[in-house]
Amino acid sequence: MNLLNIVKHILHLTENEYDSENSPTTTDEIFAAERLFEVLKSINVSYFTELYAYDTLDFDDEYDEMTDEESSNDDINDYNENEHSDINDHFTLEEMQRIVEWVDEHPNARLATISHRFKKVKYMYYITSDHCSFQQEYIPPRTLSFTGERTTEVVVKKKYNITHSYTIQPVTSANGLLLDKFLLILQEKENTLGKRVQKNLIIPPNVVVRASKSGKSNDKNHHVFLNEVLRPFVDKKFLLSLDAWKTQADLTKFRA
């Protein structure tokens, strides 16, 4: 979309709707114009984002062609609508367009009325995982200030104030649920937990704890994530979304 054409048309509509008066521009009018400009920019970005999202739907057909011959219709026949109330099936772009057109023609129809129009395929997993890093920073209890000041505000962010770092790597499903276990990586000098830490550390059953010098993940810890966090959860084909990090993008780890 061309924002300049939109603004020109708004000016045309305004001139036809209201009398043109020559008056100086006030600060409120300038502020309103700036806000309107931000709205136009957001509309423009959303428009292209929507087009990109529709383009990615073409991969559904490609995935169907790569499905193993071992797949059968057993999962389709055993499909339980009450058990899987959330819609997590695959649809092609054409199927979605037909559904949207039908809904537009029947605005009063509810999901129960049109559920039979959705093509049921076998149940799939859609999961994603990301690293969430944290740093513990020590802030002195006292700071310099002028005599008589009632309130002193201090913002501290210095590298040497950081005492330790740690990273957690959870697994989340497409409907926003945290799944069973997650990986916790603590910062330790020797890439392993010390004897005192192992003795005093309380580890819940849904947490897998490992260590690294930086407190961040590495090749070894990613292998632990795949085998001890991800592997026990999935027993069928699934779609896994990860960052394009070299360690995570190495497909040989998934085939091991």
pLDDT in tens, 141-178: 666 676 777 776 666 566 556 667 888 888 887 767 77
% of the chain residues with pLDDT over 70: 53
Establish if 199 belongs to a structural domain: yes
* Any domain includes 65: yes
Q: Could you tell me if 143 and 242 lie in one domain?
A: yes
Identify the band that residue 120 occupies on the pLDDT scale cut at 50, 70 and 90.
very low
Shared domain for 130 and 246, answered yes or no, is yes
Domain boundary among 123, 152, 175: 123
Are residues 182 and 168 in contact, defined by beta-carbon separation less than 8 angstroms? yes
Range of the domain at 250: 126-255
Across the range 178-193, mean pLDDT stands at 82
Please state the domain count of the chain: 3
Where among 108, 123, 138 does a domain terminate? 123
Q: Is residue 20 part of a domain?
A: no
**Residue 131 is which amino acid?**
H
Residue 22, in any domain of the structure: no
Angle between helices 3-17 and 27-56 (to 10 degrees): 130
Residue 23 lies in a domain: no
Check residues 47 and 12 and name the one with the higher pLDDT.
12
Question: Are 137 and 168 members of one domain?
Answer: yes
Residues 52 and 104 in one domain: no
Of 181, 160, 169, 166, nearest to 216 by C-alpha is 166
**Predicted pLDDT of residue 92:** 63
* pLDDT for the residue 104: 74
Together in a domain, 160 and 110? no
Asked if residues 124 and 88 have their Cβ atoms less than 8 Å apart, the reply is yes
Mapped onto helix, strand or coil, the DSSP state of residue 218 is: coil
| pLDDT one-digit tens code per residue, 200-255 | 888 888 888 888 888 888 888 888 888 888 877 776 666 777 777 777 767 776 66
At residue 17, the pLDDT reads: 67
pLDDT at 181 over 80: yes
**134 within domain boundaries:** yes
Q: What is the pLDDT of residue 37?
A: 78
User: In sequence order, what are the residues at sequence separation of 6 or more whose Cβ sits closer than 8 angstroms to the Cβ of residue 194?
Assistant: 188
Residue type, 181: K
Same domain, 90 and 135: no
Amino acid 141: pLDDT: 64
Q: What average pLDDT does the chain have?
A: 67
Q: What is the pLDDT of residue 163?
A: 65
Residue 158 sits in the same domain as residue 200: yes
pTM: 0.41
Least confidently predicted of 59-63, 82-86, 177-181: 59-63
Q: Where a domain ends, among 98, 123, 148?
A: 123
pLDDT tens by residue, 70-113: 444 444 444 444 444 444 445 566 766 777 777 777 776 655 55
- Other Cβ atoms closer than 10 A to 90: 18
Residue with tokens 């709707």: 17
134 & 219 share domain: yes
160 falls within a domain: yes
Same domain, 95 and 10: no
Tell me the C-alpha distance between 176 and 239, whole Å: 15
Does one domain contain both 112 and 135?
Answer: no
- Three-state SS for 197? helix
Q: Within this chain, do residues 52 and 64 fall inside the same structural domain, yes or no?
A: no
Any domain includes 77: yes
Is the torsion defined by CA of 207, 213, 215, 218 positive or negative? negative
Q: Are residues 102 and 149 in the same domain?
A: no
Tell me the CA distances in angstroms from 173 to 107, 207, 208, one per residue in order. Answer: 31, 17, 19
Residue 9: what pLDDT?
A: 76
What pLDDT score was predicted for residue 199? 82
